[in-house]
Amino acid sequence: MSDDPSAEIEAAPPVELDPLHNQLTAWQQRVLALLEVLLCSSLPTQFLIAGILGAIGISPRDGDQLSLTFVFVLSVADTLVLIALMVALTRAHGESPWLLWRGRAPLFPEIVVGLMLVPVAVFMVAFLIGIIRTFAPELHNVPENPLESLATGGAGAAAIFGVVAIVAGGIREELQRAFLLQRFERHLGGATVGVIVLCTAFGLGHALQGWDAAIATGTLGAFWATLYLRRRSSVAPMVSHAGFNSIEVLRIAIGGGA
């Protein structure tokens, strides 16, 4: 038996389909998985929450820039709603959200791996942005990142934006990534298709920051998705993602955007 717990996890046979799926045909299973992917993609939930915030008078903009209050409330509320949805759907299939996200590997080694991969993520983005701006400068089409301005309003604003970056980025996006990858892996073309689709969507979700940022964040999405599939735990990707976002917020707060 291998001394590496993650090796045992990878060698484990795929989880059998839950009773709900066993009652459905193959195409019905795919349709259900696709509906769950769309429901938990953040688009429906964020549109709904943004509409509610608008109805109670919380505007998405504060003058000529994004409203930090709006971004904070939207991000935290979306995180809570999405986690509740994913837990409910996972349990509806007779499965454990804890096992999906926490995995079977010991906790401390996963945290250490995540911490060790923070500088890797930082270097990866710096390298990609440098290459893009050298050889394809036209992709740097947003001179001032609209999100970076949220972290430059003093220590209080930076702290609030840091919470958003950790909660909505490091926590929500990694739990969401694991949930969605499971749907692709089982019913929507496999893990590779899932990584490609999700990293593309992850990049496009950051397109308002510029195409160079979209490419860099999409690559990070593929990196963290592959890490999850390799280790079958969201802990290392979550720690790496939260650490990367924290460094970015600190960099912007201290020295301004790139």
Q: Can you count the helices (H) and strands (E) in the chain? A: 13, 2
pLDDT interval class at 8 (50, 70, 90):
very low
pLDDT in tens, 50-59: 999 999 999 9
pLDDT interval class at 256 (50, 70, 90):
low
pLDDT in tens, 70-111: 999 999 999 999 999 999 999 999 999 999 999 999 999 999
Residue 153 has a pLDDT of 72
pLDDT interval class at 19 (50, 70, 90):
low
Q: How far is CA 51 from the centre of its chain?
A: 22
pLDDT of 132 strictly over 80: yes
pLDDT of 17 strictly over 80: no
Closest by Cα among 107, 97, 113, 117 to 247: 117
Give the number of other CB atoms < 10 A from CB of residue 247: 15
pLDDT of 197 strictly over 80: yes
104-136 per-residue burial string, b: 16 or more CB within 10 A, e: under 16? ebeeebbeebbeebbeebbebbeebbeebeeee
